[in-house]
């Protein structure tokens, strides 16, 4: 019955998550408002935390690591993919291999999460059907789940918003737990990404890679890289020149999980405010040492920017969300 209402809901109503993003923007921007022509309601500020292919931003992606730090990647042979299906279980195993290859410097394969995932995937392989679906009877699932303390395999609390945004791969129905290869691949990727996030060395490394990514992108957008990283013992991230003007960029890779907006948009709003205040103080700091850049480049037209890896909500034109960098550079 509810499926009959789907078209009407999609066409005439605002989604729940979208509504919470609007509440979040109202929390973050004192002048946020919406106007309606009786058919469509629009706000005076647009925000999306997603990047290309509708992906959430990450501290360091597999592609960035492989492209910008290939010397740190140990390539191994992947399992062959099925020629007859779009998705197959081999892709889950290949995701594990990719993480081991790309992040071997951070000893990811000896993390608790990696070791448990490895054993868990072997345990559930016998429940795979059609190389895509998993069906596990409740008692068998409970026995398997009890062996893996670091893995949240199913969300049991039944709360709607938590179920809507859960990262757990299994859902319970009529005495069985169900999952798919797609959900399992997503679970492996997110679990290992979060495990890496706890590694201080990885965090530092991710910051340097992000600076390289920004430099690579700015060069492609027509900015001349000066390769200036230190002046009078003062550190700088990315200093560029375009049209006889210096653009000084600070690259910020602070983790900011905005995807849980449904659960507590007020908390996310407070975090957004703290980050924006921190970024604005950083801009003031750069302005205070602007004379160093002028002396080094011989150009007195200098502007300072923050590039935030994780999108923030702000009207400060000098704080650029990385996902918007291409659009900003093309203006």
Q: Kindly report which listed range (48-52, 206-210, 236-240, 310-314) carries the lowest average pLDDT score.
A: 48-52
As a whole number, the mean pLDDT across the chain is 90
Contact 187, 169 (CB under 8 A): yes
The reported pTM is 0.88
Looking at residue 9, its pLDDT comes to 60
Q: What is the mean pLDDT of residues 272-279?
A: 96
Nearest Cα neighbor of 133 from 88, 191, 174 is: 88
Using alpha carbons, list the distances in angstroms from residue 51 to 14, 57, 181. 21, 6, 23
Report the alpha-carbon distance of residue 302 to residue 10 in Å, rounded.
47
Residue corresponding to tokens 């408002």 = 33
Looking at residue 78, its pLDDT comes to 81
Q: What is the pLDDT of residues 87-107, one digit of tens each?
A: 889 999 999 999 999 999 999
Looking at residue 35, its pLDDT comes to 86
Between residues 10 and 297, which one has the greater pLDDT? 297
Which sequence spans correspond to the domains of the chain? 2-43, 78-197, 200-329
Most confidently modeled of 63-67, 75-79, 284-288?
284-288
Contact 309, 254 (CB under 8 A): yes
Looking at residue 36, its pLDDT comes to 81
In a 13 Å sphere around the CA of 265, the CA atoms on its Cβ side amount to 17
How crowded is residue 201: how many other Cβ atoms within 10 Å of its Cβ? Answer: 11
Looking at beta carbons, which pairs linking 242-246 to residues 24 or more positions away fall under 8 Å?
244/299, 244/301, 245/299, 245/301, 245/302, 245/303, 246/293, 246/294, 246/297, 246/299, 246/301, 246/302, 246/303
Between residues 93 and 259, which one has the greater pLDDT? 93
Q: What values do phi and psi take at 324, rounded to 5?
A: -100, 5
Q: What is the CATH number of domain 200-329?
A: 3.40.1350
Looking at residue 7, its pLDDT comes to 65
- Model confidence band, residue 163 (pLDDT cutoffs 50, 70, 90): low
Report the alpha-carbon distance of residue 120 to residue 81 in Å, rounded.
21
Using alpha carbons, list the distances in angstroms from residue 142 to 98, 115, 176, 267. 29, 19, 10, 34
Looking at residue 2, its pLDDT comes to 57
Q: What is the pLDDT of residues 177-193, one digit of tens each?
A: 999 999 999 999 999 99
Number of residues in the chain: 331
Judged against a pLDDT cut of 60, whether residue 130 lies above it is answered with yes
Q: What is the mean pLDDT of residues 201-230?
A: 97
């Amino acid at each position: 019955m509810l499926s009959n209402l789907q078209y009407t809901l999609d066409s005439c109503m605002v989604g729940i998550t979208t509504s919470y993003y609007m509440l979040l923007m109202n929390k973050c921007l004192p002048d946020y408002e919406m106007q309606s022509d009786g058919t469509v309601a629009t706000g005076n500020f647009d925000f999306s935390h997603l990047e290309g292919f509708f992906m959430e931003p990450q501290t360091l992606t597999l592609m960035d690591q492989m492209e910008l730090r290939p010397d740190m990647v140990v390539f191994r042979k992947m399992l062959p993919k099925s020629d007859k299906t779009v998705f197959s279980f081999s892709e889950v195993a290949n995701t594990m291999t990719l993480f081991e290859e790309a992040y071997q410097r951070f000893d990811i394969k000896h993390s608790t999460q990696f070791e448990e995932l490895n054993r868990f995937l072997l345990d559930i392989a016998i429940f795979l059907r059609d190389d895509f679906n998993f069906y596990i009877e409740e008692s068998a699932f409970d026995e398997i789940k009890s062996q893996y303390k670091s893995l949240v395999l199913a969300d049991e609390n039944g709360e709607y918003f938590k179920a809507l945004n859960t990262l757990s791969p299994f859902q319970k129905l009529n005495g069985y737990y169900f999952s798919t290869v797609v959900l399992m691949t997503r679970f492996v990727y997110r679990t290992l990404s979060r495990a890496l996030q706890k590694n201080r060395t990885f965090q530092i490394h991710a910051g340097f890679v992000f600076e390289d990514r920004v430099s690579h992108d700015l060069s492609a957008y027509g900015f001349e890289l000066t390769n200036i990283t230190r002046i009078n013992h003062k550190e700088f991230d990315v200093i560029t020149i375009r049209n006889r003007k210096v653009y000084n960029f600070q690259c910020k890779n602070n983790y900011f999980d905005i995807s849980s907006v449904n659960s507590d948009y007020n908390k996310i709003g407070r975090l957004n405010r703290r980050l924006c205040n921190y970024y604005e103080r950083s801009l003031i700091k750069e302005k205070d040492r602007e004379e160093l850049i002028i002396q080094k480049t011989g150009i007195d037209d200098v502007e300072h920017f923050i590039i935030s890896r994780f999108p923030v909500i702000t009207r400060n034109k000098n704080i650029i969300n990385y996902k918007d960098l291409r659009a900003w550079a093309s203006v």
